[in-house]
Protein backbone atom coordinates (compact mmCIF):
# COMPACT_ATOMS: atom_id res chain seq x y z
CA UNK A 1 0.00 0.00 0.00
CA UNK A 2 1.13 3.52 -0.85
CA UNK A 3 0.52 6.06 1.91
CA UNK A 4 0.12 9.69 0.80
CA UNK A 5 0.42 12.45 3.38
CA UNK A 6 -1.20 15.84 2.63
CA UNK A 7 -0.45 18.21 5.52
CA UNK A 8 -2.53 21.02 3.98
CA UNK A 9 -5.45 19.52 2.04
CA UNK A 10 -8.16 21.70 0.57
CA UNK A 11 -11.72 21.64 -0.52
CA UNK A 12 -11.30 22.56 -4.18
CA UNK A 13 -14.26 24.67 -5.29
CA UNK A 14 -14.84 25.42 -8.96
CA UNK A 15 -17.15 28.24 -10.06
CA UNK A 16 -18.35 28.22 -13.66
CA UNK A 17 -19.11 31.73 -14.91
CA UNK A 18 -20.03 32.93 -18.38
CA UNK A 19 -16.96 35.14 -18.70
CA UNK A 20 -14.54 36.52 -16.13
CA UNK A 21 -14.76 40.32 -16.03
CA UNK A 22 -12.33 41.95 -13.57
CA UNK A 23 -14.19 44.28 -11.17
CA UNK A 24 -17.53 42.85 -12.36
CA UNK A 25 -20.27 40.97 -10.55
CA UNK A 26 -20.72 37.38 -11.73
CA UNK A 27 -23.57 34.98 -11.44
CA UNK A 28 -22.07 31.57 -10.66
CA UNK A 29 -23.64 29.08 -13.09
CA UNK A 30 -22.42 25.91 -11.37
CA UNK A 31 -20.50 25.02 -8.22
CA UNK A 32 -18.31 21.90 -7.94
CA UNK A 33 -16.61 20.90 -4.69
CA UNK A 34 -14.02 18.11 -4.50
CA UNK A 35 -11.29 17.02 -2.12
CA UNK A 36 -7.99 18.53 -3.20
CA UNK A 37 -4.39 19.02 -2.24
CA UNK A 38 -1.41 17.42 -3.94
CA UNK A 39 -1.21 14.23 -1.85
CA UNK A 40 -4.92 13.63 -2.37
CA UNK A 41 -4.49 14.07 -6.12
CA UNK A 42 -1.58 11.60 -6.07
CA UNK A 43 -3.77 9.08 -4.25
CA UNK A 44 -6.66 9.70 -6.61
CA UNK A 45 -4.50 8.87 -9.65
CA UNK A 46 -3.14 5.74 -7.95
CA UNK A 47 -6.67 4.64 -7.05
CA UNK A 48 -7.88 5.34 -10.61
CA UNK A 49 -5.12 3.05 -11.91
CA UNK A 50 -5.97 0.26 -9.48
CA UNK A 51 -3.16 0.74 -6.98
CA UNK A 52 -3.67 0.16 -3.26
CA UNK A 53 -3.49 3.53 -1.54
CA UNK A 54 -4.34 5.26 1.74
CA UNK A 55 -4.78 9.02 2.18
CA UNK A 56 -3.76 10.77 5.36
CA UNK A 57 -3.08 14.30 6.57
CA UNK A 58 -5.02 16.71 8.76
CA UNK A 59 -8.58 17.92 8.26
CA UNK A 60 -10.89 20.03 10.39
CA UNK A 61 -14.18 21.88 10.40
CA UNK A 62 -17.06 21.52 7.96
CA UNK A 63 -14.74 21.77 4.95
CA UNK A 64 -12.74 18.88 6.40
CA UNK A 65 -15.95 16.86 6.63
CA UNK A 66 -16.62 17.65 2.98
CA UNK A 67 -13.11 16.47 2.02
CA UNK A 68 -13.70 13.15 3.76
CA UNK A 69 -17.18 12.74 2.30
CA UNK A 70 -15.86 13.38 -1.21
CA UNK A 71 -13.11 10.75 -0.80
CA UNK A 72 -15.78 8.31 0.43
CA UNK A 73 -17.85 9.08 -2.67
CA UNK A 74 -14.85 8.39 -4.90
CA UNK A 75 -13.99 5.20 -3.00
CA UNK A 76 -10.54 6.43 -1.96
CA UNK A 77 -9.55 5.10 1.49
CA UNK A 78 -8.48 7.71 4.04
CA UNK A 79 -7.43 7.98 7.68
CA UNK A 80 -6.98 11.66 8.61
CA UNK A 81 -5.84 13.20 11.85
CA UNK A 82 -8.34 15.83 13.03
CA UNK A 83 -7.61 19.44 13.89
CA UNK A 84 -9.64 22.27 15.39
CA UNK A 85 -8.46 24.44 12.45
CA UNK A 86 -10.86 24.20 9.49
CA UNK A 87 -9.60 22.80 6.22
CA UNK A 88 -8.88 25.55 3.69
CA UNK A 89 -10.55 26.04 0.30
CA UNK A 90 -9.25 26.85 -3.10
CA UNK A 91 -11.64 28.60 -5.47
CA UNK A 92 -11.12 28.35 -9.21
CA UNK A 93 -13.23 30.43 -11.55
CA UNK A 94 -13.62 28.98 -15.04
CA UNK A 95 -15.06 31.05 -17.90
CA UNK A 96 -17.43 29.05 -20.06
CA UNK A 97 -16.56 31.23 -23.03
CA UNK A 98 -12.83 30.50 -23.12
CA UNK A 99 -12.34 27.63 -20.65
CA UNK A 100 -9.66 29.65 -18.86
CA UNK A 101 -9.17 29.13 -15.12
CA UNK A 102 -8.38 31.80 -12.52
CA UNK A 103 -7.38 30.35 -9.15
CA UNK A 104 -7.62 31.77 -5.63
CA UNK A 105 -5.78 29.62 -3.12
CA UNK A 106 -6.35 30.06 0.61
CA UNK A 107 -3.08 29.47 2.47
CA UNK A 108 -4.82 27.52 5.24
CA UNK A 109 -5.45 28.42 8.86
CA UNK A 110 -2.48 28.41 11.21
CA UNK A 111 -2.13 25.10 12.95
CA UNK A 112 -2.95 24.96 16.64
CA UNK A 113 -0.04 24.13 18.94
CA UNK A 114 0.89 20.47 18.96
CA UNK A 115 -0.84 19.71 15.63
CA UNK A 116 2.33 18.78 13.80
CA UNK A 117 3.43 16.33 16.51
CA UNK A 118 -0.07 14.88 16.49
CA UNK A 119 0.15 14.30 12.72
CA UNK A 120 3.57 12.64 13.07
CA UNK A 121 2.17 10.33 15.76
CA UNK A 122 -0.78 9.55 13.53
CA UNK A 123 1.45 8.71 10.52
CA UNK A 124 3.77 6.62 12.72
CA UNK A 125 0.71 4.70 13.88
CA UNK A 126 -0.38 4.03 10.30
CA UNK A 127 3.14 2.88 9.36
CA UNK A 128 3.18 0.52 12.35
CA UNK A 129 -0.19 -1.07 11.68
CA UNK A 130 -0.13 -1.48 7.88
CA UNK A 131 2.28 -2.81 5.23
CA UNK A 132 3.25 0.48 3.57
CA UNK A 133 5.47 0.19 0.48
CA UNK A 134 6.05 3.90 -0.21
CA UNK A 135 5.31 7.07 1.71
CA UNK A 136 4.51 10.18 -0.34
CA UNK A 137 4.59 13.62 1.31
CA UNK A 138 3.11 16.27 -0.95
CA UNK A 139 2.01 19.82 -1.19
CA UNK A 140 2.16 22.98 0.81
CA UNK A 141 2.42 23.37 4.55
CA UNK A 142 -0.11 25.38 6.52
CA UNK A 143 1.05 28.63 8.14
CA UNK A 144 2.97 27.81 11.29
CA UNK A 145 4.00 24.29 10.28
CA UNK A 146 7.74 23.73 10.78
CA UNK A 147 10.05 23.89 7.76
CA UNK A 148 11.39 20.48 8.79
CA UNK A 149 7.94 18.90 8.35
CA UNK A 150 8.88 16.78 5.33
CA UNK A 151 12.20 15.88 6.98
CA UNK A 152 10.26 14.53 9.96
CA UNK A 153 8.10 12.44 7.64
CA UNK A 154 11.20 11.22 5.79
CA UNK A 155 12.75 10.05 9.05
CA UNK A 156 9.52 8.30 10.03
CA UNK A 157 9.60 6.45 6.71
CA UNK A 158 13.25 5.54 7.13
CA UNK A 159 12.63 4.19 10.65
CA UNK A 160 9.87 2.02 9.21
CA UNK A 161 12.03 0.90 6.27
CA UNK A 162 9.71 2.68 3.80
CA UNK A 163 11.03 4.76 0.88
CA UNK A 164 9.84 8.36 0.88
CA UNK A 165 8.91 10.60 -2.08
CA UNK A 166 8.70 14.33 -1.30
CA UNK A 167 6.90 16.83 -3.53
CA UNK A 168 7.14 20.23 -1.90
CA UNK A 169 8.43 23.67 -2.74
CA UNK A 170 10.40 26.50 -1.15
CA UNK A 171 11.16 26.08 2.56
CA UNK A 172 9.20 22.83 2.76
CA UNK A 173 11.40 21.32 0.04
CA UNK A 174 14.65 22.74 1.43
CA UNK A 175 13.71 21.60 4.92
CA UNK A 176 13.23 18.02 3.73
CA UNK A 177 16.68 17.54 2.21
CA UNK A 178 18.80 17.02 5.32
CA UNK A 179 16.80 13.90 6.16
CA UNK A 180 17.80 12.31 2.84
CA UNK A 181 14.46 11.70 1.09
CA UNK A 182 14.66 8.90 -1.49
CA UNK A 183 13.03 11.02 -4.20
CA UNK A 184 12.24 14.72 -4.45
CA UNK A 185 10.25 16.00 -7.44
CA UNK A 186 10.40 19.75 -7.95
CA UNK A 187 9.29 21.28 -11.22
CA UNK A 188 11.66 23.58 -13.08
CA UNK A 189 10.41 26.74 -11.34
CA UNK A 190 10.49 25.18 -7.87
CA UNK A 191 14.05 23.95 -8.48
CA UNK A 192 15.21 27.36 -9.71
CA UNK A 193 13.49 28.97 -6.75
CA UNK A 194 15.44 26.99 -4.14
CA UNK A 195 18.78 26.56 -5.99
CA UNK A 196 19.00 29.75 -8.09
CA UNK A 197 20.46 27.44 -10.76
CA UNK A 198 18.84 27.47 -14.17
CA UNK A 199 20.11 24.13 -15.52
CA UNK A 200 17.96 21.25 -14.17
CA UNK A 201 20.86 18.79 -13.90
CA UNK A 202 23.07 21.23 -12.04
CA UNK A 203 20.12 22.24 -9.88
CA UNK A 204 19.39 18.59 -9.08
CA UNK A 205 22.98 18.16 -7.98
CA UNK A 206 22.63 21.11 -5.61
CA UNK A 207 19.70 19.31 -3.96
CA UNK A 208 21.76 16.12 -3.78
CA UNK A 209 24.60 18.00 -2.11
CA UNK A 210 22.06 18.98 0.55
CA UNK A 211 20.91 15.39 1.11
CA UNK A 212 18.39 14.33 -1.54
CA UNK A 213 18.94 10.95 -3.17
CA UNK A 214 17.00 10.80 -6.48
CA UNK A 215 16.00 14.18 -7.90
CA UNK A 216 13.28 14.17 -10.55
CA UNK A 217 12.62 17.52 -12.23
CA UNK A 218 9.36 17.82 -14.12
CA UNK A 219 9.78 20.03 -17.20
CA UNK A 220 6.20 20.39 -18.39
CA UNK A 221 5.86 19.58 -22.08
CA UNK A 222 9.57 18.69 -22.15
CA UNK A 223 9.02 15.64 -19.93
CA UNK A 224 11.27 14.97 -16.97
CA UNK A 225 14.97 14.96 -16.10
CA UNK A 226 16.17 12.72 -13.26
CA UNK A 227 19.53 12.47 -11.55
CA UNK A 228 20.29 9.32 -9.52
CA UNK A 229 22.46 9.19 -6.39
CA UNK A 230 25.30 7.77 -8.52
CA UNK A 231 25.04 10.67 -10.95
CA UNK A 232 23.25 8.90 -13.78
CA UNK A 233 21.01 11.32 -15.65
CA UNK A 234 17.86 10.09 -17.34
CA UNK A 235 15.69 12.22 -19.57
CA UNK A 236 12.24 10.98 -20.54
CA UNK A 237 9.72 12.78 -22.71
CA UNK A 238 6.66 12.23 -24.83
CA UNK A 239 7.26 11.99 -28.56
CA UNK A 240 4.13 14.01 -29.28
CA UNK A 241 2.60 17.32 -28.23
CA UNK A 242 -0.58 17.45 -26.16
CA UNK A 243 -3.13 20.13 -25.53
CA UNK A 244 -4.96 20.17 -22.22
CA UNK A 245 -4.89 21.22 -18.61
CA UNK A 246 -1.51 20.86 -16.89
CA UNK A 247 -3.05 21.13 -13.39
CA UNK A 248 -2.33 17.89 -11.55
CA UNK A 249 0.24 16.66 -14.10
CA UNK A 250 3.01 16.81 -11.48
CA UNK A 251 0.89 14.89 -8.97
CA UNK A 252 0.30 12.21 -11.59
CA UNK A 253 4.07 11.94 -12.16
CA UNK A 254 4.61 11.51 -8.42
CA UNK A 255 1.94 8.81 -8.38
CA UNK A 256 3.80 6.94 -11.15
CA UNK A 257 7.14 7.19 -9.32
CA UNK A 258 5.58 5.87 -6.12
CA UNK A 259 3.87 3.02 -7.97
CA UNK A 260 7.12 2.12 -9.69
CA UNK A 261 9.07 2.08 -6.42
CA UNK A 262 6.31 0.06 -4.77
CA UNK A 263 6.61 -2.62 -7.46
CA UNK A 264 10.43 -2.54 -7.51
CA UNK A 265 10.48 -1.61 -11.21
CA UNK A 266 13.56 -0.49 -13.05
CA UNK A 267 14.11 3.23 -12.35
CA UNK A 268 14.13 4.26 -16.02
CA UNK A 269 10.79 2.48 -16.50
CA UNK A 270 9.39 4.40 -13.55
CA UNK A 271 10.49 7.66 -15.12
CA UNK A 272 8.86 6.68 -18.42
CA UNK A 273 5.68 5.85 -16.50
CA UNK A 274 5.87 9.26 -14.84
CA UNK A 275 5.88 10.95 -18.25
CA UNK A 276 2.95 8.84 -19.49
CA UNK A 277 0.85 9.27 -16.33
CA UNK A 278 1.58 12.97 -16.30
CA UNK A 279 0.57 13.32 -19.95
CA UNK A 280 -2.63 11.37 -19.29
CA UNK A 281 -3.48 13.88 -16.54
CA UNK A 282 -3.10 16.74 -19.04
CA UNK A 283 -5.86 15.17 -21.14
CA UNK A 284 -8.33 15.28 -18.23
CA UNK A 285 -9.89 18.54 -17.04
CA UNK A 286 -9.60 17.83 -13.30
CA UNK A 287 -6.53 17.22 -11.15
CA UNK A 288 -6.26 13.69 -9.77
CA UNK A 289 -7.89 12.06 -12.77
CA UNK A 290 -6.39 9.95 -15.58
CA UNK A 291 -7.92 7.53 -18.05
CA UNK A 292 -6.16 4.13 -17.91
CA UNK A 293 -6.48 3.81 -21.71
CA UNK A 294 -4.69 7.15 -22.16
CA UNK A 295 -1.91 5.96 -19.84
CA UNK A 296 -1.38 2.80 -21.85
CA UNK A 297 -1.45 4.53 -25.23
CA UNK A 298 0.83 7.40 -24.15
CA UNK A 299 3.31 5.03 -22.46
CA UNK A 300 4.20 3.65 -25.91
CA UNK A 301 5.08 7.16 -27.09
CA UNK A 302 7.55 7.91 -24.27
CA UNK A 303 11.23 8.15 -25.17
CA UNK A 304 14.01 7.66 -22.64
CA UNK A 305 17.65 8.71 -22.84
CA UNK A 306 20.21 7.71 -20.19
CA UNK A 307 23.49 9.58 -19.72
CA UNK A 308 26.13 8.19 -17.36
CA UNK A 309 27.92 10.84 -15.35
Q: 54: part of which helix (H) or strand (E)?
A: strand 53-59
Name which position in 73, 96, 97, 104 contacts a second copy (CB under 8 A).
104
Assess contact for 292 and 49: CB atoms under 8 A. yes
What single DSSP character describes residue 86?
P
**Measured distance CA(44)–CA(41) in Å, rounded:** 5
Binding positions for a second copy, 74-93, rule CB under 8 A: 91, 93
Select from 100-108, 215-223, 274-282, 283-291 the region that touches a second copy (CB under 8 A): 100-108
CA 24/CA 193 separation, integer angstroms: 34
Decide whether 246 or 301 has the Cβ nearer to a second copy.
246
Q: Which of 2, 3, 17, 287 binds a second copy (CB under 8 A)?
A: 17
Checking DSSP bridges between strand 101-105 and strand 88-95, what pairing results, if any? antiparallel
- Spatial neighbors of 162 by CB under 8 A, at least 6 apart, are 3, 127, 132, 133, 134, 135
**In angstroms, rounded to a whole number, what is the distance separating the alpha carbons of residues 151 and 137?**
10
Q: Looking at the annotation, which residues are catalytic?
A: 251
Instruction: State the Cα–Cα distance between residues 38 and 160, nearest whole angstrom.
Output: 23
According to the binding rule CB under 8 A, does residue 20 interact with a second copy?
Answer: yes
Nearest distance, CB of residue 23 and a second copy, angstroms: 4
List C-alpha distances in Å: 265 to 75, 186, 268, 278: 27, 22, 8, 18
Residue span binding a second copy (CB under 8 A) among the ranges 26-34, 162-170, 185-193, 217-225 = 26-34
Q: Which of 146, 188, 158 is nearest to 7 (CA)?
A: 146
Q: What is the size of the binding site for a second copy (CB under 8 A)?
A: 27
**Piece of 14-22, 148-156, 200-208, 275-283 that binds a second copy (CB under 8 A):** 14-22
Select the span of 12-20, 49-57, 72-80, 210-218 touching a second copy (CB under 8 A). Answer: 12-20
Q: Is 143 a residue that touches a second copy (CB under 8 A)?
A: no
Diameter over CA atoms, the chain: 57
Asked if residue 264 binds a second copy (CB under 8 A), the reply is no
Residue 106 near a second copy by CB under 8 A: yes
| Residue 109 Cβ vs a second copy, minimum distance, rounded to whole Å | 9
CB-CB contact of 51 with 2 (8 Å):
yes
Q: Is 24 in the site for a second copy (CB under 8 A)?
A: yes
Which 3 state secondary structure label does DSSP give 73?
Answer: helix
The Cβ of residue 101 has, within 10 Å, a number of other Cβ atoms equal to 14
Alpha-carbon distance of 111 to 146, in angstroms, equals 10
Smallest distance from the beta carbon of 110 to a second copy, in angstroms?
12
Minimum distance from CB of 38 to a second copy (Å)?
14
Q: Is 21 in the site for a second copy (CB under 8 A)?
A: yes
Segment 185 to 244, residues that bind a second copy, using CB under 8 A:
none
Options 1, 52, 79, 105; binder of a second copy; rule CB under 8 A: 105
Q: Rule CB under 8 A: choose which of 25, 113, 161, 300 binds a second copy.
A: 25
Instruction: Tell me which of 65, 265, 269, 291 binds a second copy, using CB under 8 A.
Output: 65
Stretch that binds a second copy, among 97-105, 183-191, 192-200, 254-262 (CB under 8 A): 97-105
List contacts with a second copy (CB under 8 A): 15, 17, 20-28, 31, 61-63, 65-66, 91, 93, 100-107
Amino acid sequence: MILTVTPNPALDVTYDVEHLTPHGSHRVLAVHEVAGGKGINVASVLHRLGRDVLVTGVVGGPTGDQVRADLDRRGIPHRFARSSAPTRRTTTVVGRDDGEATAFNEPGWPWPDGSWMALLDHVAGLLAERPVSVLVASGSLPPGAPDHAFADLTLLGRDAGVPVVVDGSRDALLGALAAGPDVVKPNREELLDVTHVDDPVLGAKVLQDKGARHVVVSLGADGIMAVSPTGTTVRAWLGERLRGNATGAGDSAVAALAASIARGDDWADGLADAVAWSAAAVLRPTAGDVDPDDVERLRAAVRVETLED
